[in-house]
Amino acid sequence: MMVDNSRAFLEEYYKTHFPSDRYTYHTWERVLMIENAVCTICEHEACSEEETEVLRLAALFHDVGIHVDRENHERASAAAATQFLSENSYEPAKIEQVAALILATQDNAIPKTTLEAIMKDAALSSFAADNYFEVLDGLRQEWEQFDIHHPESDEAFYTLVINLCNSNNYYTDAATLLFPKYKSNLKTLKQIRKEIRAQDADANVGKPTLNETKSGQMMIKTALRNHLDLTELADRKASTMLSINSLIITIAIPLMLPRVQDNPYLLFPIVLLLVFCVVSILFATLVTKPVKMSGLTYVSELEQGSGDLFFFGNFFNMPFETYERAMGETLFDDSKLDTMIIRDLYLSGKVLGDKYSQLRFCYMLFLVGIVASALSLVLVLSLTYQN
């Protein structure tokens, strides 16, 4: 039976490619749990033997590619399943079906068939596991092992998990019936987050905030003012480069072109100067180019402490009621307000750093272009006089 052969192969594969000290979430035990969930749902949905078989194969292979390509592990897993099943003379039509079911477990994938819905629900069955919180600990440890960016604070981590649970619902009636602990686990998650927030609030009692420290307020205001002044200075410098290079292209170069007929060698320094001027204009334009803005800040981002409502680019597409409520919660919570002010300062500094990096490169290009053009012109004139 292909399921037995695949299970035996993958068990050995996980032992050699998924060391337990690193893969604390994507484990062989989790694979078997999802395969068992598939079997249970299939039984309630009255699936045929063939349907159950392809679903079990998809469950066994659905995470095997994560050690190859973590970002697109579903595609890597589908490719691994296709290769193994083809080498073992499995029916091509069923191989395509297995691959499609694996791809159906992608985060943003919406099931199109009953089998895809079953596969998606089975993959999410861990939300209802009895040892769900041990599974979460394993997930966090695995993220740390592979240096994957994740919320460092407990509150932010549980908020991320809660949002993940809320954004994923079961698609089959069988899953809703079989995994009722999903709701109780979610309720426990929210209770844990509530307790963490209460502890953090108690820990912050007595700590001064920006509202209470004049020196802190003065430093923040000074830093923000400096950022604004430096941004204006960078834009002025970029405008200067745009003007100078535009003048060279529109006035200086056309004045030099008639001399090319008498001395064709002059074409080289002219073209060289033109190229450097055009590239300098490009980078000067990048300095003044507005940053990309979505105009949206999601409630989940604010709950995780990663939103910024002070910059217009983060809220101009938000409904006023949502913005008013979020801003009200921020303004009346000193810790949230302090965090958002500091984040706003940091993000403006990041933008400023990018501006000055591009501006410096622009000036260096212009300098190199002028020097290279001048040297080439001297060389051309010397060769001309020698001839």
Tell me, what's the pLDDT at 150?
63
Q: Token pair for residue 249?
A: 């292209």
Tell me, what's the pLDDT at 300?
60
Task: Tell me how far the alpha carbon of residue 320 is from its chain's centroid.
Answer: 27
Tell me, what's the pLDDT at 302?
63
Q: How many other CB atoms are there within 10 angstroms of residue 284's CB atom?
A: 27
For residue range 211-237, list pLDDT tens digits in order. Answer: 556 777 778 788 888 888 888 898 899
Q: Which of 56-65, 204-213, 261-270 has the highest mean pLDDT?
A: 56-65
Tell me, what's the pLDDT at 295?
74
pLDDT bracket for residue 314 (50, 70, 90)? confident
Q: Is the pTM of this model over 0.85?
A: no
| Per-residue burial over 137-148, b = 16 or more CB atoms within 10 Å of its CB, e = otherwise | ebbbebbeeeee
Average pLDDT (20-45) is: 89
* More confident site: 373 or 387: 373
Tell me, what's the pLDDT at 100?
92
Tell me, what's the pLDDT at 387?
61
Fold of 2-203: Catalytic domain of cyclic nucleotide phosphodiesterase 4b2b (1.10.1300)
Amino acid at 194: K
Name which of 38, 51, 29 is nearest 179 in CA terms: 38
Tell me, what's the pLDDT at 46?
85
Cβ(350)–Cβ(344) under 8 Å? Answer: no
Span of 26-40, 182-196, 205-219, 331-345 with lowest mean pLDDT: 205-219
Inform me whether the pLDDT recorded for 301 exceeds 70.
Answer: no
Cβ(14)–Cβ(31) under 8 Å? Answer: yes
For residue range 97-141, list pLDDT tens digits in order. Answer: 999 999 988 877 788 888 999 998 888 888 888 888 888 888 888
Tell me, what's the pLDDT at 193?
79
For residue range 341-373, list pLDDT tens digits in order. Answer: 888 888 888 888 888 998 999 999 999 989 998
Average pLDDT (24-39) is: 89
Tell me, what's the pLDDT at 360?
92
Average pLDDT (251-263) is: 81
Tell me, what's the pLDDT at 187?
84
Inform me whether the pLDDT recorded for 41 exceeds 80.
Answer: yes
Q: Write down how long the chain is.
A: 387
Amino acid at 240: T
Tell me, what's the pLDDT at 167?
66
Task: Kindly give, in sequence order, each residue whose CB lies less than 8 Å from that of residue 270, ignoring residues fewer than 6 positions away.
Answer: 253, 256, 257, 260, 373
∠ CA 195-198-200, rounded to 5°? 110
C-alpha 111/C-alpha 117 separation (Å) is 5
Name which of 104, 108, 83 is nearest 9 in CA terms: 83
pLDDT bracket for residue 200 (50, 70, 90)? low
C-alpha 307/C-alpha 294 separation (Å) is 12
Tell me, what's the pLDDT at 257?
82
What's the whole-number average pLDDT of the chain? 82
